[in-house]
Copies of this chain bind each other. A is one copy, B any other.
């Protein structure tokens, strides 16, 4: 598999991005990695003897975190994220990764790579890293969704979760405010109906926020607004609760020895819920694997994201397209 990496995107680019890519390249000698950025500075970080499966692809500058994605892409087609997307469009790479401006990554994927047939709107698939990892789709790509979009997310998420988690079957739940089919807003009521009638997915019905992480489903489907709020609430609360535990354990009356002895256990849990375990989110529904890294990605996150891409394989977009081909386009849906 060939994977392009935007070496200039992210708070800790290029050093951490390159370091993570080098780690992945050593772990995955059968894959090839294209580091996209200005050759001179990348080569100075890479050193004289990079692994044989790492090469550099020239690009001119980066789209910053604060720029308007669409305008910046138009103005600077040679920027690193744009060139990374072009390598996928041109068949030189199967996938690209960027930890830069998320909007620019999504826009580059849509404008340069394009959607798979049958997918009206893409969804961001993110793993929530609890005891039972669960795939959340959409975590923020499509803020306004129609029921048919949620059906697409369910199909895309099912195919992806089977490959990514190694499941025979992926159970799909719809995030809602109650378990009964009649609960929720118009979007969830109509989506529930569509999901229940769709062949080829294992729909387990509505799932409430309290079941995020309890293993009630392998895939949680929702609109991009709700999904983004769920993802960030889950990350924030996990961090907050661990902080409360840490604070409680360093209290005055405490046996410091016991706390010191148990601290590594707490670190294990912190590492388990760390978003860097997965390193990024897949943009599902485009004709290539596109992975959005966290803006603050370090080498470990980049390495894990690239390993995740390799695991899902080069054929993912075709599999997603095949799965979507079984779905009727809704009448009157012209957008």
> What is the interface of chain A, defined by CB distance below 8 A to chain B?
130-131, 140, 143-144, 175, 177, 184-186, 188, 208-214, 224-226, 228-245, 247-249, 251, 254-255, 257-259, 261-262, 265-266, 268-269, 272-273
A233 and B241 contact, Cβ closer than 8 Å, known pairs A177-B228, A258-B258: no
Q: A209-B231, A249-B265, A254-B262 are in contact. List 15 more A-B contacts (CB 8 A).
A: A130-B240, A130-B244, A131-B243, A140-B177, A144-B185, A209-B229, A209-B230, A209-B234, A210-B239, A213-B237, A226-B226, A226-B229, A229-B229, A238-B241, A242-B245
Q: Which residues of B contact A144 (CB under 8 A)?
A: 185-186
Counting every copy of the chain, the complex holds: 2
A250's nearest neighbour on chain B, judged by CB, is B265
A244 and B131 contact, Cβ closer than 8 Å, known pairs A209-B228, A236-B209, A236-B210: yes
Pairs A–B under 8 Å by Cβ, sample size 9: A144-B185, A188-B225, A209-B233, A213-B237, A233-B234, A244-B273, A245-B269, A251-B265, A258-B259
Q: Does the CB pair A249–B237 fall under 8 Å? A: no
User: Which among A186, A229, A239, A273 has the greatest number of chain B C-beta atoms within 10 A?
Assistant: A229
Q: Does the CB pair B244–A272 fall under 8 Å? A: yes
* Nearest Cβ on chain B to A271's Cβ, whole angstroms: 10
- Which single member of B241, B247, B268 contacts A242 (CB below 8 Å)? B241
> How far, in angstroms, from A272 to B265 measured CA to CA in the complex?
21
> How far, in angstroms, from A131 to B229 measured CA to CA in the complex?
20
* Nearest Cβ on chain B to A250's Cβ, whole angstroms: 9
* Nearest Cβ on chain B to A10's Cβ, whole angstroms: 18
> How far, in angstroms, from A210 to B231 measured CA to CA in the complex?
8
A267's nearest neighbour on chain B, judged by CB, is B248
> How far, in angstroms, from A245 to B184 measured CA to CA in the complex?
33
A237 and B212 contact, Cβ closer than 8 Å, known pairs A175-B229, A229-B175, A229-B226: yes
Q: Which residues of B contact A255 (CB under 8 A)?
A: 258, 261-262
Q: Does the CB pair B225–A226 fall under 8 Å? A: yes
Q: Does the CB pair A232–B258 fall under 8 Å? A: no
A66's nearest neighbour on chain B, judged by CB, is B180
Q: Does the CB pair B258–A262 fall under 8 Å? A: yes
> How far, in angstroms, from A131 to B226 measured CA to CA in the complex?
24
> How far, in angstroms, from A215 to B239 measured CA to CA in the complex?
14
> How far, in angstroms, from A223 to B260 measured CA to CA in the complex?
44
A251's nearest neighbour on chain B, judged by CB, is B265
Q: Does the CB pair B265–A248 fall under 8 Å? A: yes
Q: Which residues of B contact A228 (CB under 8 A)?
A: 177, 209
> How far, in angstroms, from A262 to B262 measured CA to CA in the complex?
9
Closest 10 CB pairs of A and B: A209-B232, A209-B233, A210-B236, A258-B258, A210-B232, A177-B228, A248-B265, A258-B261, A213-B240, A237-B237
